[in-house]
Structure 1
Amino acid sequence: MAQRKENVVMFPFMATGHIIPLIALALRIEQKTNYSITFVNTPLNILKFRSSIPPNSSIRLVELPFTSSDHGLPPNIENTDSTPYHLVIRLLEASNSLKPSFKKLIEDMIKEQHGHRPLCIIADIFFGWTTSLAKELNVFHGIFTVSSAYGLACYYSLWMNLPHRKVNSDEFSLPDFPEASRVHITQLATNILEADGTDAWSVFQKENLPEWANSGGILVNTVEQFDHIGLSYFRRKLGRPAWAVGSVLLSLDSQARAVKGGFGTGKEMKSKARQVMEMIKNATKDEEGFKGSSVEALDDFFSAAVSMRERTERGKNIAA
């Protein structure tokens, strides 16, 4: 009898900058494991990004029904690329309507596999509601972010605390992130700058962000050696693992160019860029006798998922 393949369900937010990195991670997982992968999104996004999946890939693409005009959006709006900025929040709010169909998808997968659950759900940072759904269905859950841990930590702290509303200065500290640099109001995105706790963005984030603590942990598109401060923040704040699984998507040359964009002499920047490229290569290296930190982090994530599966199965056997 053939051994059943474990299934990984991946669900990014409807934005190109969220979808493409998760596709890249899906391809890496497919290459390095024997897991099957189910990649979920709305119909127009599946159509748009189908060509990003190599012809020889076995990744399964699944559409969830979505009609933008039902949510006060123009017709055929399913991606932030085609959404006017002032309507992005409405697309975020509308994404909550995907919950029933996503739940049904997971339930149907479990039925098709005769009670065998997916190994895990990897969902977007904007889909906090998937944590409670995963818990209800006894499926391990991980949040995925394409941004650095440090940048996301600042974002999380800003939305959770709105510190700029509590000071009379243009510069302020993040109350739960003392390791971070002070923030100037000119650095804030418009939606955060104008947030007062009752606006639509604040209401959405008040529901979304606390759900992260109910996940099994957070997968971050970064390298441990670069981003320890941000990773430590989430490990402390959420009480959950933060796995540095990067670098996903960006080429080594792109990241080296980003480093060169900093301050210093040309010679210093070239030296720093070489160091960065070497660290990224080492972090993502997976060969006989050596695994980089990012490879080990992804292994740790799946080990946590397998451990939950085993605990769930033991619980069933005891109950029986």
Structure 2
Amino acid sequence: MGKSQAQVVLFPLPAQGHISPFLSLATQLHHYRPGLSITLVSTPANINSIQSSLPPDPCLHLQSLPFYPVEHGLPAGAESTADVPVAQFITFYKAIESLYPAFDELISSLVSNASDSAPLCIVSDFFCSWTINIAHKHKVFHTSFLTLSAFGGAVFFSLLLNHPHRLTEKDQFPLPEYPEVIIDRSQVSLYILASDGTDEGSQFFKRQHMFLNHTNALWVNTVEEFEPIGLGMLKKTLKFPIWPIGPPLATVAQLSSSKSDEETEIMTFLDSQAPASVLYISFGSQNTIQPGQMMQLAQGLEGSGCAFIWVIRPPIGFDPKGEFKDEWLPHGFKHRIKQKHMGLLVHGWSPQLKILGHISTGAFLSHCGWNSILESMFYGVPIIAWPIGGEQFYNSMMVVESGVGIELARGVMDSSMPMKEKVEEVVDLVMGSNAKGMDIRKRAKECRDVMKKAWNEEGGSSTKSLLEFFKLISI
């Protein structure tokens, strides 16, 4: 790295849903400042994975930091949230803090080799807000990057910091900082419901929020025009610059011209279907549903007669990376949908951006992970919401309130079982030729225009936010 070269160091949480927006961020940083030196740090396995999925890029430096998961009670080789059970997520988050000495040494080296006129900035995931101490130690500008939605992040912080669900026995309650926001208990993850402020999860997030209060600025992976309410909530409680810099752009890996046999099959299936006729179903890179829910969803899909692509994995209670058994689906289901050329079951990874961007895709049945929502809106695809956990419940609230979709189910409890008739009804409502469906599709297309304009180089809101950041740190 040249001594006069401005540098940005990116530190995402080792999780697919967090690393992807950081890689997209790196693409945008390079586009607007080609001479910027960008370094992304992570654990060795994640760095190797990024290197194998992306072509060599001289503008992006990848730096691995030593990590020993077994020392923290994690499975051997567990270097991503995908490698650990949900019950150990907090253990994993805390284990990442062990990277402190190695990251401190890296920043110290970069500062020593830089000239006084070369700005250096650390951009860390909110889950890694402890990096703020290292930034202060070396007098380096620090920006936190919230990969959640603004609304989801604000609600998530309020629940974990205040535990309002413990102050009442009612099923619905307001948030202390935002009394206009009413939360239902069914929208609160079980681990939050069980928390009381003294548990490890509460302590971890309180600590990160405490660190966050000392950052220089916050980037949010959203679009100003899409989330004015959520951004307003964050600005009400956080007293430093908050800049929306979404939506994420496709990474090179997603839009690679090379195709696997499975991807070719997917695109061939889409090419054979009518415009806006296919329902894409995915619960994200880690989530799945109960066996009974899977059965009802399959029956509802078949009853709807709608063409679909379903990214499917074993249900809850079974090895998510294990072999999928036909017994988890209705008898003869796979044979019937194949014979009718009606559905395609995908086991493992899917080219989500390509699917959402295809003319035949008409709606997205999603767990409402924030990346998935932004990607769906980027292509103007309506959402059938089925949030599973975390802030996904609040993203689903946004989907419904903004008019771009309908909630089918909530969570994976037996009480949230969507019967086949409900599946048929909702699929027909969102994708059919009824007035409600037409309104939803119209609104989704309007959101698509908002997303695409955000990075307009002549006044786009996300472009403006990024340029303001460059000006602030003199890049």
Under a length normalisation based on structure 1, what TM-score does the superposition of the two structures give?
0.89
Correspondence for 1:284: 455
Tell me, yes or no, if structure 1 residue 47 matches structure 2 residue 59.
no
Equivalent in 377, 381, 399 of residue 257 of structure 1: 381
Contact 1:234 1:240 in 2 (8 A): no
Secondary structure of 1:142's counterpart equals: strand
Q: Deviations over 1:30-62 (max 9, x none)?
A: 122121101000101101122343334420000
Q: Deviations over 1:128-169 (max 9, x none)?
A: 111122122111111112221011100011111111111121
Correspondence for 2:446: 275
Distance 2:31 2:126 in 1: 24
Q: Bigger CA drift: 115-124 or 19-28?
A: 115-124
Distance 1:279-1:192 versus aligned 2 partners, 3 A rule: same
Larger Rg: 2
Q: Deviations over 1:228-258 (max 9, x none)?
A: 1211222221111111100014758421224
Correspondence for 1:316: none
Contact 2:9 2:38 in 1 (8 A): yes
Distance 1:103-1:3 versus aligned 2 partners, 3 A rule: closer
Percent identical across equivalent pairs? 36
Quote the offset at 1:76 in angstroms: 0.7
Contact 2:4 2:117 in 1 (8 A): no
Secondary structure of 2:123's counterpart equals: strand
Q: Bigger CA drift: 51-60 or 110-119?
A: 110-119
Distance 2:174 2:467 in 1: 36
Distance 2:168 2:472 in 1: 42
Distance 2:55 2:455 in 1: 21
Correspondence for 2:280: none
Tell me, yes or no, if structure 1 residue 5 matches structure 2 residue 129.
no
Mapping for residues 305-316 of structure 1, pairs under 5 Å: 305-306=473-474
Distance 1:54-1:143 versus aligned 2 partners, 3 A rule: same
Distance 1:168 1:27 in 2: 48
Distance 2:234 2:101 in 1: 29
Mapping for residues 1-320 of structure 1, pairs under 5 Å: 4-33=4-33, 34-114=35-115, 118-180=119-181, 182-249=182-249, 253=357, 254-255=376-377, 256-258=380-382, 260-262=404-406, 265-286=436-457, 290-306=458-474
Q: Deviations over 1:64-87 (max 9, x none)?
A: 110001111111101001111111
Distance 1:76 1:84 in 2: 13
Secondary structure of 1:123's counterpart equals: strand
Secondary structure of 2:129's counterpart equals: coil
2:240 counterpart letter in structure 1:
R
1:223 counterpart letter in structure 2:
V
Contact 1:285 1:291 in 2 (8 A): yes
Distance 1:3 1:9 in 2: 15
Distance 1:200-1:179 versus aligned 2 partners, 3 A rule: same
Contact 2:219 2:242 in 1 (8 A): yes
Contact 1:179 1:229 in 2 (8 A): no
Contact 1:110 1:116 in 2 (8 A): no
Distance 1:117 1:68 in 2: 35
Quote the offset at 1:268 in angstroms: 1.2
Structure 2: gaps (5+ residues): 251-352, 358-375, 384-403, 407-429
Quote the offset at 1:117 in angstroms: 6.0
Contact 1:6 1:118 in 2 (8 A): yes
Quote the offset at 1:110 in angstroms: 1.2
Correspondence for 2:258: none
Correspondence for 1:315: none
Structure 1: gaps (5+ residues): 308-320
Q: Bigger CA drift: 10-19 or 262-271?
A: 262-271
Distance 1:48 1:157 in 2: 35
The number of equivalent residue pairs is 302
Distance 1:90 1:269 in 2: 41
Correspondence for 2:413: none
Q: Bigger CA drift: 154-163 or 267-276?
A: 267-276
Distance 2:89 2:249 in 1: 24
Distance 1:135-1:258 versus aligned 2 partners, 3 A rule: farther
Secondary structure of 1:126's counterpart equals: helix
Contact 1:119 1:306 in 2 (8 A): no
Distance 1:189 1:70 in 2: 28
Distance 2:122 2:179 in 1: 32
